[in-house]
Homo-oligomer: A and B are copies of this chain.
Amino acid sequence: MINTLYLPELREMLVEKDQDSLQEFCTALHPARTAEFMEGLTPEEVWAVLQYADLSVRTEIFSFFELPFQVDIIEAHSPAEVAELVADMSADDRVDLLADIEDDFSDQILALLPTEERRDVLRLSEHAEGTAGAIMTTEMARLPEELTVREALDEISRQAEELETIYYLYVVDENDNLHGVVSTRQLITALVKPELRLKDIMETEIIHVSDSDDQEDVLRKMADYDLIAIPVVDEELRLVGIITHDDILDVVVEEAAEDAYRSAAVEPLEETYMQTPLLILSWKRGVWLIVLFLGAIFTAFALKHYDAELDNYKWLVLFIPLVISTGGNTGNQSATLVITALNKEEVSVDQWVHVLQRELVMGLVLGGGLAVLGFLTALFIAPDIISACIIPITILLVVISGTLIGSTLPLIFEKIGLDPALMSNPFVAGIIDFLGIVIYMTVALLLLGKAPVEETSQLLHLPLIQTFSVG
């Protein structure tokens, strides 16, 4: 959301080169807010305003812009102009920015970065998207275990400017192998005995992740252990980075959006809804709509298979949407409940028997209730009581199928290592649409008998139509 309130004032200050006001603007507010106020400016104007701030403030404000806007600002200037700011960014933000800038341009910026920052970028960009390595940063406090509490405090007070978080200190040996963790809290509590060394107070049972771990596993660990930051180690167990609470909050929001998209059969977006080009959005929606459409064609052919029955008992047609939507809705509920429970680790695949038992009971209860409603409705439309019974029996069976299929499919997907969210509505609904038609027509056949051959059909036709138009 763009806050346009102060844009005219800002522009006027720029025209007048009003140094005092612009410096005041850059520093008076929290950098996140300053960034928000500038979102309506052009990349050139933003850059002009930022020149009135110190490098560290400038970088901070810049880091709070959305990534696409950061890219616009950088690409509107020469590599030489922006290199200083890029070098000052935190390692994880920098690597995200450079990944989104055109290759030629980012190579030129990279060449202008100090050696250490350049190596950082190359190391971080090796990691696959969605892994711990891709979201970690390399700016953490590494200290030797022989340091005293007082020395450690002095050391991080010197380094504080460059570190992403100073709330945990990582105790490493000369090979960067992680031996312990000390929280700033422990350090401050230990100040009463300043002769203590880090090795005396460090935790040696270290909660960590591997750089190739999925970001969802990182999230789970940080949430389970209430951590502000978690250390990341490589294959040789060397400390290579940390992931902090704000990065993980972004991951949660991203994963939740991803699940929401999947539940609506949209391929997850990489950018915001408004920023995604319509052509890409069409593809991300269209690809699944086509799959679902092809599935729905099966339902059409299933119905075609029963044309003789539908012709004879045409009031059955009226309940088609009701039968399939009830099945779809119940299946969707079960799928969502199981997917959410799997996501929150409340349920594991091993508990499938228990899950299916619960869903069977739910199917009986919900199906039974809806069957009563369906029977009452059918009494208004069906020609006789026997025929009306088709509706409640069908609804009961369809609802039970819905709960069982809706809960089984995500469990199977989880078991075979696929994202269970893929099996959310509307795929479950598509499968139950088809099954619903088959159940419906089979019940009708069993209760009303096989449809007579075509000649007889003509004879039976008249009275039924009459009942129909009267009912």
Contacts and interface: CB of A to CB of B under 8 A. Distances in A.
A75 interface: no
A85 interface: no
B265 A333 contact: yes
Contact of A273 (B245, B278, B340): B340
Contacts of A261: 336-337, 340
A87 interface: no
Given A285-B333, A354-B274, A465-B454, A249 B263 contact: no
Contacts of A7: none
A437 B465 CA distance: 21
A266 interface: yes
Given A332-B264, A333-B264, A430-B325, A249 B246 contact: no
A51 interface: no
Given A249-B223, A362-B282, A370-B290, A156 B188 contact: yes
A40 interface: no
A162 B29 CA distance: 32
A253 interface: yes
A189 B157 contact: yes
Interface string A286-303: 101110111011011101
The listed residue with most B CB atoms (<10 A of its CB), out of A253, A278, A294, is A253
B292 A362 contact: no
Interface residues of A, number: 124
A207 to B, nearest CB: 6
Interface string A214-258: 000000001111101000000000000000011011101101110
Given A285-B366, A286-B365, A264 B157 contact: no
B341 A304 contact: no
B188 A260 contact: no
Contacts of A301: 318
Nearest to A260: B340
A224 B264 contact: no
A410 to B, nearest CB: 12
Nearest to A304: B318
A9 to B, nearest CB: 18
A446 interface: no
A256 to B, nearest CB: 4
A353 interface: no
A344 B265 contact: no
A30 interface: yes
Contacts of A222: 249
Contact of A188 (B32, B166, B259): B166
A143 interface: no
Contacts of A469: 307
Interface stretch (A95-103, A118-126, A172-180, A309-317): A309-317
Nearest to A206: B30
A395 to B, nearest CB: 9
Contacts of A451: none
Contact of A228 (B245, B351, B358): B245
A46 interface: no
Interface in A261-283: 261, 263-266, 269, 272-274, 278, 281-282
B265 A329 contact: yes
25 contacts: A29-B205, A30-B205, A32-B225, A226-B246, A228-B245, A252-B252, A253-B344, A255-B256, A257-B344, A263-B263, A263-B425, A264-B335, A273-B337, A278-B362, A292-B329, A299-B321, A300-B322, A300-B377, A303-B318, A303-B321, A311-B465, A321-B433, A324-B325, A328-B429, A425-B425
